[in-house]
Chains A and B, each alone.
Chain A
Amino acid sequence: MQTNHDISTKFSSDLTESFLDHRPSLDPRLFLDPDLEPIYEKVLIGKRLSAEDGLTLYQSNNLLGIGFLANLVRERINGQDAYYVYNQHLNYTNICRNGCSFCAFSRREGEEGAYTMSLDEIADKIRSRLDEPITEVHIVGGLNEKLPYSYYLEMLATIKRIRPKVHIQAFTAVEIAYLAELSNQSPAETLLELQAAGLGSLPGGGAEIFSSRVRQVVCPKKLPANEWLEIMRVAHRLGIRSNATMLYGHIETLKERVEHLLALRQVQDEYGGFLAFIPLAFHPHNTKLSSLKKTSGFDDLKNIAVARLLLDNFAHIKPFWIMVTPKIAQIALSFGADDLDGTVIEERITHMAGGETTQGLPQSELIRLIREAGRCPKQRDTLYNLISEEGAEEAQGHNPSLQPVSKT
């Protein structure tokens, strides 16, 4: 496909038109082609895009055109703001009964490298960083059948005891379903119990790709897609917010990506409980799918942009810099993204799959990347309350009470 096919004639024909009254740049004629024009018409009036539109976007090689469309939506929703959070990651165990083929992190009990953190170790890790203005502890782990249900409740309570104001974003829908099974309770009862112990919100992991064809191949033992979505519905109904993810770049088709995004959009229509969407780039190294290649920068940016365009009811799109590199995450701020996540100290899951990025970006570096990209850095807490504009002030320890989200 040729982009900017007849741009000179387009320009010379109406140079006097005052199309640039407010913004001299971002002229649609620099970006559009016949495939993207109908989508542009919809984006302009805020009309919802269809599955076919999603596929057209994914199949287009007009990266700048797709970025242009995504940027329109991004600036409409988030203006020039780009968010980040000061967080601490905790992967409490890598022992997991699921053994998904895309995972380099998971180990069997007794296997070399298998570990489980004791509650004391977890307490030490939290305590060791008390001098930092951390507002979020982000917890994800494997399904370790040796751990009792009480471990999870005590983990939350321990962290809250040491750091009472911190927001704990913990346990993907996969872990929640497992904990419900473990405690012989409904997911709702389990969530309420975890919430009482200190749980603030849920991370968006474990969604992978909703297609059952793909799940059968890459994660046959994992929670099925409809149950993942149901856990999210239950959480949102209880006023517990969550993120959403999509693991892309393995064996899924573009159509399956579109279906995944539209399934998320549908659940979001019901309760509006998703905070952000985070596309996760597949890292093949050390996994059972190691013959596959890493995602390309082109695919990373396109995926961010298409997500921004299809997920019209999501406020935030977050590239995970650990996976796509800080350079691509920064560039993504012009392709629909508005959040660079956090400082992410001690992230282990991606790094075990050959993630080559550093383990932590200092706050000053995140701010620099955002400023250089021409955006305004906004330090946020987990629920997107602002901490400070510059990130220079001490965190205020925001932990707003969780309000049930009204159905839209």
Chain B
Amino acid sequence: MSDSAFLLKSIIDKVVADVRLLPQEAAMLFEEVDLLTLGALANLKRQRLHPDRIVTYIVDRNINYTNICLSKCRFCAFFREEGAEGSYVISREELAKKIEETLELGGVQILLQGGLHPGLKLDYYQELLEFIKSRYQIHIHGFSPPEIIHFARLNNLPVETVLERLLAAGLDSIPGGGAEILVDRVRREVSPCKCSSREWLEVMQKAHQLGLKTTATMMFGHIETLPERIEHLNLIRQLQDKTGGFTAFIPWPYQPGNTSLISRPAASGFEYLKTLAICRIFLDNIPNIQASWVTQGAKVAQIALNFGANDLGSTMIEENVVAAAGVSYRLPESELIRIIEGAGFQPRRRRMDYALL
């Protein structure tokens, strides 16, 4: 056996023996192992964590309170400048209507996210949360780290204070968006105005310390290198070791569509499954991995259940950001159930904290 084959075998053996992989081992596994073996290893990890063959999903709605954003990320097709045609800030009536529709459809959560608006102060968001909580029994999964950092800067407040005030006003958990790739070389290229890698991680650490659960994401398949992709995973894994506050990890491929980032084709289904599998294998301390049917479609999302994913995310009663980039898969709950059962799993609704409903 050649040296590299021997090394690869030892890495595979480590995964089978449930031993944590080093970043360079994950990179080697990604580059040199075949798709089926990666899938089998991820599947093994997934079965150890979820032996009951349940696949979960949540009934919720994305509500984007504004599309006005200072960040102007090069991969984003959703944002507008203030005053530009099509720019908006959601009204209370609209917000109430969207939440009521969500509750009627059996929704238990809203994902409340928006652009980095230059004029809305922290009071606005506190009042927004209080408005919702005083009227509706619904989980608010809101404000990704770039928004939290933006609020801190705009209001001249420490991150902790922003988090404490939002928590007091009714925030239940924080979505893991805006992580993109947590390597500043990459961030400077694709999202120069967005928070730094350190800031993103700091928000999550402080949120976890305050008892807020969060998810984590990765947007891959643009200008990052494989070691940078793995570095992203490593930073998430390190923080999770400290706090244990991440409930799930969601890798999704960059969608070129209507965006201005260096043109390159979207990651293929093959690349997606390999990346998903590596996430499941490497992130041994994160309980749940979500498949992205919004970017991959129902067929690949279903296959992903054999490549490490144990969750199909949200039914997304409404989704705007990916749709703005020209990708708009739609899946009613009945379809989610059908693809889960079709792959031999039991579908279950869940909450943000992955408690089954």
Interface residues of A (CB under 8 A from B): 1-4, 7-8, 11-12, 15, 18, 20-21, 23-27, 30-31, 61, 63-64, 67-68, 71, 293, 296-301, 324-328, 330-331, 333-334, 365, 368-369, 372-374
Of B16, B270, B339, the contact of A330 (CB 8 Å cutoff): B270
Hey, which chain B residues are within 8 Å of A327, CB to CB? 268-270, 272, 296-297, 299-300
Of A18, A64, A296, A331, the contact of B342 (CB 8 Å cutoff): A296
Pair B47/A374 contact, Cβ less than 8 Å? no
Pair B40/A296 contact, Cβ less than 8 Å? no
Write the nearest CB–CB distance from B330 to chain A, whole angstroms.
11
State A301–B305 Cα separation when bound (angstroms): 13
State A212–B228 Cα separation when bound (angstroms): 57
Report the contact-size class of chain B (Cβ under 8 Å from the partner).
Answer: 35 or more
Interface: B5 (CB within 8 A): yes
Query: Would you mind naming 10 contact pairs between A and B with Cβ atoms under 8 Å apart?
Result: A3-B43, A7-B44, A8-B18, A12-B17, A30-B12, A64-B36, A68-B36, A296-B338, A326-B269, A334-B36
Pair B47/A4 contact, Cβ less than 8 Å? yes
Interface: B273 (CB within 8 A): yes
Pair B302/A296 contact, Cβ less than 8 Å? yes
Within 8 A of A (CB), among B288-345: 296-303, 306, 338-339, 342-344
Interface SS of chain B: helix
**What is the count of residue pairs linking A and B with beta-carbon distances less than 8 angstroms?**
133
Write the nearest CB–CB distance from B334 to chain A, whole angstroms.
10
Pair B8/A25 contact, Cβ less than 8 Å? yes
Pair A300/B299 contact, Cβ less than 8 Å? yes
Pair B17/A8 contact, Cβ less than 8 Å? yes
Of A4, A300, A330, the contact of B44 (CB 8 Å cutoff): A4
Of A1, A298, A326, A331, the contact of B35 (CB 8 Å cutoff): A331
Hey, which chain A residues are within 8 Å of B6, CB to CB? 24
Pair A21/B1 contact, Cβ less than 8 Å? yes
Interface: B9 (CB within 8 A): yes
Write the nearest CB–CB distance from A305 to chain B, whole angstroms.
11
Pair A301/B303 contact, Cβ less than 8 Å? yes
State A294–B220 Cα separation when bound (angstroms): 29
State A33–B142 Cα separation when bound (angstroms): 43
Hey, which chain B residues are within 8 Å of A325, CB to CB? 297, 299-300
Interface: B39 (CB within 8 A): yes
Hey, which chain A residues are within 8 Å of B18, CB to CB? 8
State A11–B12 Cα separation when bound (angstroms): 11
Sorted from nearest, which 6 A-B pairs have the closest CB atoms? A297-B299, A61-B344, A327-B269, A25-B37, A30-B40, A24-B8
Pair A373/B35 contact, Cβ less than 8 Å? yes
State A153–B242 Cα separation when bound (angstroms): 76
Pair A25/B33 contact, Cβ less than 8 Å? yes
Q: Mark B25-37, 1 if CB is under 8 A from A, else 0.
A: 0000000011111
State A68–B272 Cα separation when bound (angstroms): 19
Hey, which chain B residues are within 8 Å of A324, CB to CB? 299
Hey, which chain A residues are within 8 Å of B53, CB to CB? 2
> Which of B9, B53, B272 has the most CB atoms of chain A within a 10 A radius of its CB?
B9
State A31–B41 Cα separation when bound (angstroms): 9
Within 8 A of A (CB), among B1-27: 1, 5-6, 8-9, 12-13, 16-18
Interface: B265 (CB within 8 A): yes
Pair B338/A293 contact, Cβ less than 8 Å? yes
State A139–B274 Cα separation when bound (angstroms): 37
Write the nearest CB–CB distance from A30 to chain B, whole angstroms.
4
Which residue in chain B gives the minimum CB-CB distance to A333?
A: B270
Hey, which chain A residues are within 8 Å of B300, CB to CB? 297, 325, 327-328, 331
Which residue in chain A gives the minimum CB-CB distance to B303?
A: A297
Hey, which chain B residues are within 8 Å of A4, CB to CB? 40, 43-44, 47
Which residue in chain A gives the minimum CB-CB distance to B5?
A: A24
Hey, which chain A residues are within 8 Å of B12, CB to CB? 24-25, 27, 30
Pair B303/A63 contact, Cβ less than 8 Å? yes
State A368–B266 Cα separation when bound (angstroms): 12
Pair A18/B1 contact, Cβ less than 8 Å? yes
Hey, which chain A residues are within 8 Å of B5, CB to CB? 20, 23-24
Write the nearest CB–CB distance from A97 to chain B, whole angstroms.
34
Pair A298/B37 contact, Cβ less than 8 Å? no
Pair B40/A31 contact, Cβ less than 8 Å? yes
Write the nearest CB–CB distance from A91 to chain B, whole angstroms.
25
Hey, which chain B residues are within 8 Å of A20, CB to CB? 1, 5, 9
Of A8, A30, A296, the contact of B41 (CB 8 Å cutoff): A30
Interface: B199 (CB within 8 A): no
Q: A64-B39, A296-B298 are in contact. List 15 more A-B contacts (CB 8 A).
A: A7-B16, A11-B16, A25-B37, A26-B34, A27-B37, A61-B343, A63-B303, A64-B36, A293-B338, A298-B343, A326-B269, A334-B270, A369-B268, A372-B271, A374-B34
